[in-house]
Amino acid sequence: MLSDVTTPQDLDDRFREALAGLAAAPRRRDPAERVHDGAPLTGAQLLDLFDAQVTSRQLDLAGRWLRSFGEGFYTIGSAGHEGNAAVAAALRPGDPALLHYRSGAFYCLRAAQAAGEVAFPGPEGETDAPTPGAQATPAEAEPARPEAAPTPSDAEEPPPETEVGAGAGAETGVEAAVGAAGGPAAGRDGAAGREDAYAGAARDVLRGMVASAREPIAGGRHKVFGRADLAIVPTTSTIASHLPRAVGAGLALERLRRRDPAGRRAGADPLGDVGQPPRSPWPPDAIVVCSFGDASVNHASATAAFNTAGWYDHTGLRIPVLFVCEDNGLGISVRSPKGWVEATLRSKPGIRYFSADGTDPVQAYEAAVEAAGWVRRHRRPAVLHLSTVRLMGHAGADAEAAYRSSGEIAADLDRDPLLATARLLVAAGVATADELLARYDERGWQVRRIAEEVLGEPKLASAAEVVAETAPRRPARVARAVADAATRAGGPGAAARADVFGGRLPEAAGPLTLAQSINAALADGMLDHPGMVVFGEDVAARGGVYGVTKGLRDRYGAARVFDTLLDETSILGLGLGAGLAGLLPVPEIQYLAYLHNAEDQLRGEAATMRFFSSGAFRNPMVVRVPGLAYQEGFGGHFHNDNSLAVLRDVPGLVIAVPARPDDAAAMVRTCLASAAVDGSVCVLVEPIALYHTRDLYTEGDGEWLADYAGPGAWAAGHAPVGRARVYGVGSAEDVTIVTFGNGVPMSLRAAATLADEGIGSRVVDLRWIAPLPVADIVREASVTGRVLVVDETRRSGGVGEGVLAALVDGGYVGAARRVASVDSFVPLGPAAREVLVTEDAITQGARTLLAR
């Protein structure tokens, strides 16, 4: 008698009992034949699905076994969701996939497909065959929109030099598919002395479960589904947070497909011989697939992704992304209201809806082929809604009986997808119950053996090993990249550069403001990086609310500089996907306060990509964020946000705050080079109040303007990540003022006042908030033995806390004092002066420090 709670033993016993009760078919069927009339699957293909499902099921059982004696660290399994193997079979191995954490069968089938060991299409050049018996849908019968028509360059574009995950062939031989004595094909295991692709996939997953440092994607940092050679991008367990990235990858993939073969915009040649055209790691006609659970349809990230995909489709732009919702009716213990998920998914404008019973392998495969084929042909978004079941609860510690009845559990057991596939194989005469049981047991023993082997593998054993791939820094290579860009801009690209700037080069324009310098540096960056794209709210037609991106669209076209919808999650998601697809995205978040709407896209998705993939995947990106306070007569807290705390604690993130025009241009170049060379995620926080500032000490002095450096001076003026800039005022021997952003001009004015009193100051502009220029801070503080930290962010959680900690950790033993803004939001009007740092506070703070 089985218990009311589905334990691993229950599930195994149930499968064996049900299999034993299956009657053999009247005749054996050739595996090359369809399993029944009108079916889209042959017997050999159904056996391949069964093998993938069995491997996934045995992995779930092994995961619970490992956990039972404290050697397994992850028990969220795929039992009940094994129908997603049919989705993998309907795709090509080069289609990038961002997978839900119940995607074990998908992962196993993709591994076998890429290895050419299954009877499903492998080579990327093959086209989707029509589903037997399927009828054209009304949407398919409609003529394609003019924007969707392939251009001549689309048809002539050569395939990428490397197609990740391309399979070795479509046919593997039906005799090999069935195998001897109903087991895995001869020559894959034992006899040939090597593992087949399913065993290799099982080893990958088991290594993740035991946190082995030899796990191929995350290196023991987390249990994720991912492998670069399988085009499977690892995702975090954050619910639905990977969907905006999938949309961005789809948009970028399609834009790359539509570029001419040289990667240039049509109608002009602004690049000349400068730079290399961007290339996607995936085939030109690839589609992006992302899977998620039913509860995730309610998440803000999912809503943003669906809305963005539909919004772009409505405008005529193409996003070839297939959303796959695996609906088991539960979010841990919370039920999805009956009919809610379908109603929600059907109602998404611009997204084609497909559905199927995910526990029926034939129906699931047929729907997946139809959905994937539709997305591939039309280059438009669709959602495949698969009804599934969840077996063995949410995870190992889940007591289902607390929220599910025994009848509900039994009903799900009756819909076990592994059992459904077995029933069909036996009924069709492709295999007998005994043969399938032998296949199941052989794979089970193999998975258990592999589990025992990986137990002894080394774990990550030091902090250095854990963080090694979080954000590697190669400053020499970044500096060389800046120098190389200067050589190109001043040499072979000089004519193109002159053309882009209309013959009026910025270095000949006279002193520029901060905004003008950033604009010129972005224009130079786009010339040197053909894959660089600038986007965000109002950045194209208007040129940004502060004019910082003015003229860029006219110079580089709407494909590279474009406006987005009003949603910060989607803006960053587009950037994440674009970087993954081979572009260099530079998104803008219109105000720092708006970043909080989407901060998880930076924390949970951007900063973790290298961490979860051991550097196999990266998402280079430079996020521009106008921010900080001191906008006289404008704003309130949404336009004067003075908090950087949410950014400072994200591991690996580069945070740049340029204060001077000449620094700004150099730091833009550094961020672009760091993103391109190291795959860095950089956030450039641009002080709004300094955008158009011209004067420093007195009105009309022009002291806060600076000439734009020509290419010949870029290398010498390089601003390395994590290096400060130091100003000497007076004797520069009495006090060191450490500051950044708006604090720089205020501190310089305060230093001038102190100089009149005979006090010499060293003003240190941090420039980089992360990583902090610790060596520069400690060195400059030690010169005077008195440090005043001027922090325009808040006293609690502000940058000043990090500076003081760095001084203590660095062995500084002198006096220190802090001047910071009040723990308050920035109010409207003159009241802002009551909570923000002032010049008087700086001078008084220095005097108090010197009086000690």
**Cα–Cα dist 627/669, whole Å:** 20
**Cα–Cα dist 617/579, whole Å:** 10
Per DSSP, helices labelled H in 649-742 are: 661-678
Residue 272: partners with Cβ closer than 8 Å, 6 or more residues away: 492, 493, 495, 496
**Cα–Cα dist 165/113, whole Å:** 9
Give 537-603 as a DSSP string.
TTSSSS--TTSTTTTHHHHH-TTTEEE--S-HHHHHHHHHHHHHHT-EEEEE-SSHHHHTTSHHIII
Residues with catalytic roles: 639
The gap between the terminal CA atoms of the chain, to the nearest Å, is 82
- Grouping H, G, I as helix, E, B as strand and the rest as coil, residue 656 is strand
**Cα–Cα dist 426/432, whole Å:** 5
Residue 510: partners with Cβ closer than 8 Å, 6 or more residues away: 707
- Grouping H, G, I as helix, E, B as strand and the rest as coil, residue 781 is helix
Query: Residue 151 in contact with residue 20, Cβ under 8 Å?
Result: no
Give 368-390 as a DSSP string.
HHHHHHHHHHH---EEEEEE---
Give 327-339 as a DSSP string.
E-SEETTEEPPTT
- Grouping H, G, I as helix, E, B as strand and the rest as coil, residue 275 is coil
**Torsions phi, psi of 227, nearest 5?**
-165, 130
**Torsions phi, psi of 285, nearest 5?**
-100, 20
* Bridge partner list, 535: 562, 587
Q: And the tokens for 636?
A: 């309130």
